[in-house]
Amino acid sequence: MCGRFSLNKTLGEVTKFLYDYFSIETNFIFSPKYNIAPSQLIIAIIYDGNKYRSGLINWGLETKLADKKKTIINARCETLLQRPLFTPLLLKKRCLVLADGFFEWQKPNQTPHYCFLKDRSLFTMAGLWNTYCQDNDNKTSSCAIITTVANQLMAPIHQRMPVILDEQNRKNWLNPKEQNGEKLISLLQPFPDQQMDYYPVSPLVNNPKNDFFDIIKPHNTKGVN
């Protein structure tokens, strides 16, 4: 699963990425984030067929199951066409989530690791989004990050990883004209392990209140089995 990630680039770097790849001119306030947790606001990108848009959205897809509110932070790519909740979103409510790293915890000691692209660049994770109407009629937009099986690099750390889409598949994923569920699922592959790296980090990441640079610094795990 993907339970934490980072977006520790400057506003200028984020703005340049969104403009260079999607011709999006941003108008939101942003500061670097080192430990993004569920329920927090994240940057999502959507496409309506005419223009790409970006904005802040809640991480955690809000829905009602058996008359109870439930928040879903991850969706397994293998079950998107099997679960009634996800299938309509797969066909019509796809998004990208902007990040530059994510965290996974290695058993048996739950040692946290920071995972990123070797060139330390920004990347986009595949997601599903929706608008949820609360009891007071207020509407909130929220999303879940899609996961797939881990690549060979990530497998020793965790069996799952977020779906990272390359430049070409970003556009294919967001294309609203694409309504073939099987074709969309085929885009959700493990990112090439040759382009990724990771290292252990401090248990400080376990507390979502901790959001500072030391969270993503390499941590000496000598003596930890």
User: Which tens digits make up the pLDDT trace of 19-61?
Assistant: 999 999 988 788 899 999 999 999 999 999 999 999 999 999 9
Inform me whether the pLDDT recorded for 136 exceeds 50: yes
Alpha carbon distance 194, 66 (integer Å): 44
What is the chain's Cα-based Rg? 17
Instruction: State yes or no: pLDDT of 223 exceeds 60.
Output: no
Q: Are 38 and 71 in contact (CB under 8 A)?
A: yes
**Look-up of token digits 């382009």:** 195
CB 161 within 8 A of CB 191: yes
pLDDT at 135 over 70: no
Q: Give the pLDDT of residue 222.
A: 54
CATH class of 4-216: alpha beta
Task: Identify whether 108 is preceded by a cis peptide bond (ω within 30 of 0).
Answer: yes
CA angle, residues 132, 176, 133, in degrees to nearest 5: 5
Measured CA to CA, the distance from residue 134 to residue 39 in angstroms comes to 15
Tokens of 91: 């066909």
**Catalytic hit among 2, 77, 115, 143:** 2
Residue 145 and residue 59 in contact, taking contact as beta carbons nearer than 8 Å? yes
Q: Which of 62, 77, 104, 143 is catalytic?
A: 104
Q: Among candidates 192, 190, 161, 187, which has minimal Cα distance to 174?
A: 187
Residue 148 has pLDDT above 90, yes or no: yes
- Mean of the per-residue pLDDT values for the chain? 92
Please state the pTM of the whole predicted model.
0.93
Q: 2 an active-site residue? A: yes
**Terminal Cα distance for the chain, rounded:** 22
The residue assigned the tokens 């400080």 is: 204
pLDDT at 171: 94
Mean pLDDT of 121-145: 87
Reference 135, options 67, 56, 40; nearest CA is 67
Distances (CA, A) of 147 to 20, 23, 43, 123, 165: 26, 27, 18, 15, 11
SS3 content of the chain, % helix, strand, coil (to 5): 20, 40, 40
